[in-house]
Amino acid sequence: MLFLCGIPLLLMEFTVGQYTRLGPVHSLAKICPLFKGVGLATVVISYVLCTYYNVLMTWALYYLLHSFSSSLPWQSCNNTWNAVGNCSTGFPGNATHLKSASQQFFDHKVLEMTTGIESAGGIRWELFGLLVLAWTVVYFCIFKGVKSTGKVVYFTATFPYFILFALLINNVQLPGAKDGILFFLMPNWSKLLEVQVWVNAAAQIFNSIGISFGSMISMASYNKFNNNILRDTYIVCLANSATSIVAGFVIFSAIGYMAHIHNLPVDDIATDGPGLVFVVYPEVFSTMPVSQLWAPLFFIMLLCLGLDSQFAMVEVAVTFIVDGFGKKVLQVFKRKELIVLAVCSVGFLLGIPHITRGGIYVFQLMDHYTAVVSLMFLAFFEVLAITLIFGVRRLSVMLEQMLGKKPNLFFRVCWQFLSPMLVLGILISSIVQYTPARYGKSYTYPLWAEVVGWFISLFSIIWIPLGALHELWTTEGSLLQRLKKSITPTVDLESVSEKPSGESVALFAAAQTPA
């Protein structure tokens, strides 16, 4: 999926953004007017994602502040929030009535979670304050535009690697680490016959690289016209996957260690989602030597990675507003800094439902229908608009004008055949094998919540048909003439607009991908 979808489609997005010097909405409107709604859909999905993504930063801040206590608060069952009768100081294994101390800290102390999404339970005011802090940090890092953000990500994109390698060196020396690493590396070849494995692989590549979120087009639009985006594409994609593999060694060596000390199989401890970061790894730290050192470093690393992703997603919305309504909006807000403040403030308000006592259920519902269901729809229509309707020939001309050479045969074949076929196959498989959202292993959402989830998904997808209808309605002529005009690109392949350049897109993209 990396080589057949990730690398070709990232170069495609870089080419569109750097050549047109516009964000996703206006660049796609020029490339294929009929599918101008795809650009708006990418902005919507990115902004919806950033409204609840910052909640992860809120939880990370909460854990970071509690990591400086004399003993880690998730280390024992002797706390006021623990249900002593079913609390285990280690992983409970097959004892389903027990919960680990770290799980109870997350459920009962951090979240104070209710029994379901139908019970909101009021706002968690500690988390409310930390959510304000998280958005304040995001604002002051990006309010001056991509040039100031570039200076921030020099730290936030590189510092996590020092912590990652420090954790790796420490973890591989722990007893049982070898078992965890072998579990991570040893393939189960029969899984290649399962369609869901390929769907998950595609979702991982699209989410981690940022394809179809609009962020890569937005960042590339600030590049110099002749910036070497082919080099940037390789840097981003290979750095992204290399980081994922190194992180896998860090995580699974720690999981192997936990399996060893609790005498459990590795797959009993391995988990995914928020539970890995906020339950399993804190439990690992509580048993490590010098736990008060590793726990703060880990959550600082998490904050750096999360902030990088937030920068990219918020910048998509800001670029859309400035590109489309710059003069009108500046008449009201006077300064671009105030536009960024308005974008961050609305994002904060939309994040409040996630920090109620029932907020974890809202979070899981949003994540399932935004990051899984909507993404493949957007990816398919973006690929359809750029590679099939706009055409590989025109795309190649754009790249040749910027770099002085045409894309090689590999990219042209992927754009023309392999990438569209794979994305279509994944989209169909996602629909056929659709499973409703759930939290944990037991909680299933009520029907009304599932309906709300689909409305959340449709909120981003709906702009695609609406954009097509608007284009056909406003174009003159017969239906056939309107269709022909609506698939004729308006982008000028001879002249190029000017836009203030920032740092190279590779730095922004590489900063986003590790999270």
Binding-site residue set for Na(+): 208, 240, 305, 308-309
Helix, coil or strand: residue 99: strand
Give the integer Cα–Cα distance in Å for 165 and 247.
9
Strand partners for 99: 87
Provide the token pair at 163: 């912590």
CA distances from 76 to 27, 46, 73, 196 (A): 55, 39, 7, 38
The letter for the amino acid at 267 is: D
Which positions ≥6 away from 103 have C-beta within 8 Å?
275, 279
HSE, CB side, 13 Å, CA atoms: give it for residue 262.
25
8 Å CB contact between 509 and 210: yes
CA torsion sign, 343 to 515 to 440 to 89?
A: negative
Neighbouring CB atoms inside 10 A of 426's CB total 24
Closest Cα partner for 254 from 278, 231, 228, 287? 287
Three-class HEC string of 230-252: HHHHHHHHHHHHHHHHHHHHHHH
Provide the token pair at 415: 């754009």
Closest Cα partner for 172 from 391, 164, 208? 164
Structure-token match 């394809």, residue found: 211
Pairing verdict, β 443-444 and 438-439: antiparallel
Give the integer Cα–Cα distance in Å for 82 and 103.
10
The letter for the amino acid at 162 is: F
> Exposed, middle or buried, 335 (CB in 10 Å: 0-12/13-18/19+)?
exposed
The letter for the amino acid at 452 is: V
CA gyration radius for the chain? Answer: 23
Element (H, E) at 443: strand 443-444
Give the integer Cα–Cα distance in Å for 358 and 123.
9
H helix count then E strand count, the chain: 25, 4
Provide the token pair at 363: 């979070």
Closest Cα partner for 363 from 246, 475, 273, 271? 273
Give the integer Cα–Cα distance in Å for 194 and 33.
38
Provide the token pair at 388: 């099939």
Binding residues: 208, 240, 305, 308-309
What does DSSP assign to residue 372?
I
